[in-house]
Chains A and B, each alone.
Chain A
Amino acid sequence: MSAAVTIVDYGVGNMFSLISSFDAVGGSASVSRDPDVVANAGKLILPGVGAFGDAADKLRATGLGDAVKYAAKRGAYLLGICLGMQLLFDRSFEFGEHAGLGLLHGDVIPIADEIPASYKIPHIGWNALSVIRPNAILSESLSGQYVYFVHSYHARVADDSLSATTEYGAPLTAAASCGSVFGCQFHPEKSGRVGMSIIDAYNRL
């Protein structure tokens, strides 16, 4: 029996689609803002939209950042989505320099530093995955499949945790993982059947 999913509610991001997507694969996801519940959860989702600095401040202020770190270090599954993925990294350079949770290694930098000036920012829309290193929720067969992105920053992964990239004038980080910690820059809950296969795989862990 796989563990129920706990979505970390630190006041950033819309939980509605995430809850619906786990319902749709026959799972069950609940939302919590209680650090004790999060610290003891078996399977977590860290959502997030907006600016890194604000989100990191909220994680600190609520005690939920430490709770997520504690859970991950004792081996709980953790999936960060979009800004939630970026928060798993060491630090971000979005409007200044901000510390992340340090569960994945690397820096979050503007995609403008990587891509030609003619490309629109944010990178919004459906783009194809190139799977570099498959993981438990992202199989090799997802290479070439389209998922939905909305972001202006991406993580430059410092070690061998890079799982997948997407091409937008340059290869951008689409997914990363290390042990039981996973991150998706795209929104699996908004990526149709392909995204739902990732939600389903995470639900089954």
Chain B
Amino acid sequence: MITKRIIPCMDVKDGRVVKGVNFENLRDIDSPVTLGGYYSECGADELVFYDITASAEGRRLFSDILVEAAKNIHIPLTVGGGISTLSDFERVLGCGADKVSVNSGAIRAPSIIGVAARMYGSQCVVLSVDAKRVGDGWRVFARGGRDDTGLDLIEWVKRGVGDGAGEVVVNSIDTDGVRGGFDIPMLTAVCEVVNVPVIASGGAGCEEHFVELFRAVPTVDAGLAASIFHSGEVKINELKEKMARAGIPARI
């Protein structure tokens, strides 16, 4: 039976892993090379590296670090941040990424999803979305949650998957950093409309929140979090044992 995946996410700025609380107040945690190797060994099912630098110099530093980190990572590795063209895909795939996630780049120029899927296959293209409740629905936000795009979350995800995205990361701005649990209504709504894997992000504060996620939204495939793993508050092996005891398939 296929297992539910647990995915630590590392936001990387100036060569260091940081974690934004509500996308602000960044603080240093560790080196991506050390932390990546540690997660690869300790039971994480996949890793995400998110490049949050904006400068060309920062991009080069990130690429160098990615190569070093990827050598020690023997589980799937997704890389995102600042991806908007095929040459961005080529750059990070050449540095050891297995999948590439697009977010604001796809909002600016949606054709990148289809172009990249034809070039590298859908399994390589992850659509990452930051969304927030507005009225009765959810709205897509760009640039790390700063800009309201006016796009409806459900329509945007359907379009992205239709164009060839092989997985979708749904990050709720409303629950991110709050540590009160995942955004169950938002995730339920997304899982109802797509038949590709959906990765839940934003809101995990303890082990119980993952159990609650997989129980409440049985079709969600993975739970992603950052600071609670980096700080050691939630240990991945203990989390997986808790999931298994709760009857949720986990790789132990």
Q: Using a CB–CB distance below 8 Å, which chain A residues touch chain B?
A: 14, 16-17, 20-21, 23-24, 49-51, 120-128, 146, 148, 150, 167-168, 187, 189-193, 195-196
Is B202 positioned at the interface, with any CB of A under 8 Å from its CB?
A: no
How many angstroms from the CA of A44 to the CA of B121 in the assembled complex? Answer: 24
Q: Using a CB–CB distance below 8 Å, which chain B residues touch chain A?
A: 1-3, 5, 40-41, 45, 70-72, 74-76, 93-96, 98, 120-124, 166-167, 195-197, 219, 221-222, 251
B70–A20 CB distance below 8 A = yes
A190–B1 CB distance below 8 A = no
B167–A124 CB distance below 8 A = yes
A124–B94 CB distance below 8 A = no
Please judge, given known A-B contacts A21-B74, A50-B121, whether A122 and B166 are in contact too, CB under 8 Å.
Answer: yes
Identify whether the interface residues of A are mostly helix, strand, loop, or mixed.
Answer: mixed
Could you say which residues of chain B place their CB within 8 Å of the CB of A14?
Answer: 93, 96, 98
How many angstroms from the CA of A50 to the CA of B116 in the assembled complex? Answer: 12
How many angstroms from the CA of A150 to the CA of B123 in the assembled complex? Answer: 7
B123–A20 CB distance below 8 A = no
B70–A122 CB distance below 8 A = no
Could you say which residues of chain A place their CB within 8 Å of the CB of B72?
Answer: 20, 24
The 8 Å CB contact of B2, one of A49, A50, A126, A193, is: A126
A125–B98 CB distance below 8 A = no
Please judge, given known A-B contacts A14-B93, A17-B70, whether A190 and B76 are in contact too, CB under 8 Å.
Answer: yes
The 3 closest A-B pairs by CB, nearest first: A146-B251, A16-B96, A50-B121
For A148, the closest partner residue in chain B by CB is B76
A124–B195 CB distance below 8 A = no
Could you say which residues of chain A place their CB within 8 Å of the CB of B122?
Answer: 122
A-B contact pairs, 17 of them (CB 8 A): A17-B70, A17-B74, A20-B72, A24-B72, A51-B121, A120-B221, A122-B166, A122-B196, A124-B123, A125-B3, A125-B5, A125-B222, A127-B1, A146-B251, A190-B74, A192-B40, A196-B74
How many angstroms from the CA of A195 to the CA of B40 in the assembled complex? Answer: 12
Please judge, given known A-B contacts A127-B2, A148-B76, A192-B75, whether A49 and B124 are in contact too, CB under 8 Å.
Answer: yes
A168–B74 CB distance below 8 A = no
For B1, the closest partner residue in chain A by CB is A167
For B122, the closest partner residue in chain A by CB is A122
Chain A: minimal CB distance from B223 (Å)? 13
B121–A195 CB distance below 8 A = no
> Contacts A14-B93, A120-B196, A125-B45 given; 20 further ones with Cβ under 8 A?
A14-B98, A16-B93, A17-B74, A17-B96, A17-B98, A20-B70, A21-B74, A51-B121, A120-B221, A122-B123, A124-B123, A124-B221, A125-B3, A125-B222, A128-B1, A146-B251, A150-B123, A190-B75, A190-B76, A192-B40
